[in-house]
Chains A and B, each alone.
Chain A
Amino acid sequence: MTTFRLPPSVPGARIVGLGSSQPEHVVTNDDLARRVETDDQWIRDRVGIVERRVAQDESLVDMAVEAGSRALKDSGLTTADIDTVIVATCTMTAPIPNAAAQTAERIGISAPAAFDLNAACAGFCYGLAAAADLIRAGSARNVLVIGAEKLSDWVDWDDRSTCIIFADAAGAAVVTGARDEDEIGVGPVSWGSAGDMATVIRILEESTNKLHQEGQTVFRWATTRIAPVALDAIAKAGLTPADIDVLVPHQANLRIVEAVAKKLRKEGAREDMRVADDIVHSGNTSSASIPMALDHMRAAGRIRSGEIALLVGFGAGLSYAGQVVRVP
């Protein structure tokens, strides 16, 4: 009988570095109001966005490279340490080649396992779950997970229901092994999909090749279905809502973020739990929003290393994923 040898496993994984990148160009609500029938107050009331960044010269890979390099620097690891690169994205203009291999090459990471992952706005949490389990199983030692999106390539700039929401950015995390149980910093993932609702966020291939979203339907789904995913992620990690120091939901719409926070507080989350509101100045950047919000909040001193953050991504697919993490 021939038996296969497997690599030794490790107790778990942890995040050791964060980074993000945004294009230079700022688009205000007033800028949009000159193009479509809308106004600043209407946008603030509906989605909570004041301004967003839209790429002019920067490519999706440019942003991924910058965010990834910053996360690597923050981690204290070197390019030689990284053996796997995952880019969560749903906005590459062409599916071939993927973003991950070229991003790795430009950062200076030599011949890593590199792949793209499309779970839309849940992509970073999916990528983080994959990274943590690759490490735990011994398939990878150090993984760079990047959420990178250039939604501006897919937005219909004449559709006032979507062009006010979406923006461009990349966010990244470096994930490594935990040496013992106390060091574990990525909790078990709670994830799933709702393919019966596949059409509510989609590219209209038959006509414009632009992004279409059924806003009310998505809002109803997100405000009712996502808090239970978040609560499940907390329970799976053996924690309670009161243990959560900071809530970082995908920055889809400030009203969805607030609705999720309200539900968690009804289930015991603390009043002083900080809630990410990065959407206000960054817009909805799909898979980039969660790592970028973490990076921005830590840089602003709103969260500290060692605190417990609850991440939950949700979006097209529909797909969703959440986990608790320890802030690096």
Chain B
Amino acid sequence: MADTAEILSGLAEIVEEVAGIDTAEVTAEKSFVDDLDIDSLSMVEIAVQAEDKFGVKIPDDQLAELKTVGDAVSYIEKNQ
């Protein structure tokens, strides 16, 4: 089981690979859409990779609720 810091850094690596955003930019308070300019299709790619990496399920309706990086980290932490 990954802890909060490990999930954040793992997620940041995924975001970097999918959307080309530097891992240092991917911090808990950032909004995927408004701050990081990540679109809905990239969010799906991030979710798919996060599922593989952390052993969680992130269905599309749940995905829509994950507004910030912090939302995603706590969802993964709760559901892993």
Contacts and interface: CB of A to CB of B under 8 A. Distances in A.
Interface of A: 45-46, 214-217, 219-220, 223-224, 253, 255, 259
Contact of A223 (B43, B45, B63): B45
B18 to A, nearest CB: 10
A216 B39 contact: no
B60 interface: yes
B44 A220 contact: yes
B12 to A, nearest CB: 20
Given A223-B44, A224-B48, A217 B39 contact: no
Given A216-B44, A255-B41, 5 more contacts: A45-B39, A215-B40, A216-B40, A216-B43, A224-B48
Main secondary structure of the interface of A (DSSP, over half): helix
A216 B41 contact: yes
Contacts of B40: 215-216
Interface in B14-33: none
Interface of B: 39-41, 43-45, 47-48, 60, 63
A259 B45 contact: yes
A46 B45 contact: no
Contacts of B41: 46, 215-216, 219, 253, 255
A223 B48 contact: yes
A253 B44 CA distance: 14
8 contacts: A45-B39, A46-B39, A215-B40, A217-B60, A220-B60, A253-B41, A255-B41, A259-B45
Contacts of A259: 45
B60 A216 contact: yes
Nearest to A224: B48
B46 to A, nearest CB: 11
A221 to B, nearest CB: 10
B66 to A, nearest CB: 13
A219 B48 CA distance: 11
A207 B63 CA distance: 28
Contacts of B44: 216, 219-220, 223
A156 to B, nearest CB: 19
